[in-house]
């Protein structure tokens, strides 16, 4: 991990906090190419009535518009929580080069915890994955959110 990974993850944490303030599960995502943020996303399935409106998908959609292509080659996606199976699949299909996430998700993680979608044989694209960036901060945010809801 280099300092820019931590910097981009801090921005993802800000987006996660904004999602939480709107009553969403606090997950934020930042899409970066050549050291520049090209798109951002935060969870919004509740407010949008869209089960696919996870932070990662929101960032990928915005990234496609910003870059003028559904293929997001040469990008890194920073996410506060390990992507679910749906999001991990979208990351592969978008041709994201690198995935960096904060907290592991043992219940639904699609990047190694529950299943490693990114490493399934037969897929035509491989994503470099690095988990655990600012893990304590990302995990604490999730833990506080769910503790407050109980």
**C-beta separation of 20 from 26 below 8 A:** yes
Q: How far apart are CA 112 and CA 15, in angstroms?
A: 24
Q: Is 56 considered catalytic here? A: yes
Catalytic residue among 24, 56, 58, 82: 56
Active site residues: 56
């Amino acid at each position: 991990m280099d300092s820019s990974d931590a910097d981009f993850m801090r921005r993802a944490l800000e987006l996660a906090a904004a999602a939480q303030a709107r009553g969403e599960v606090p997950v934020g995502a930042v899409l970066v190419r050549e050291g520049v943020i090209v798109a951002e996303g935060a969870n919004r399935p509740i407010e949008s009535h869209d089960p696919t409106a996870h932070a990662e998908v929101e960032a990928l959609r915005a990234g496609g518009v910003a870059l003028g292509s559904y293929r997001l080659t040469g990008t890194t996606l920073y996410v506060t929580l390990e992507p679910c199976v749906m999001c991990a699949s979208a990351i592969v299909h978008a041709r994201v080069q690198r995935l960096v996430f904060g907290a592991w998700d043992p219940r639904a993680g699609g990047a190694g915890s529950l299943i490693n979608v990114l490493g399934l044989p037969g897929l035509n694209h491989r994503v470099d994955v690095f988990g655990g960036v600012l893990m304590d901060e990302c995990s604490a945010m999730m833990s506080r959110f769910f503790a407050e809801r109980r």
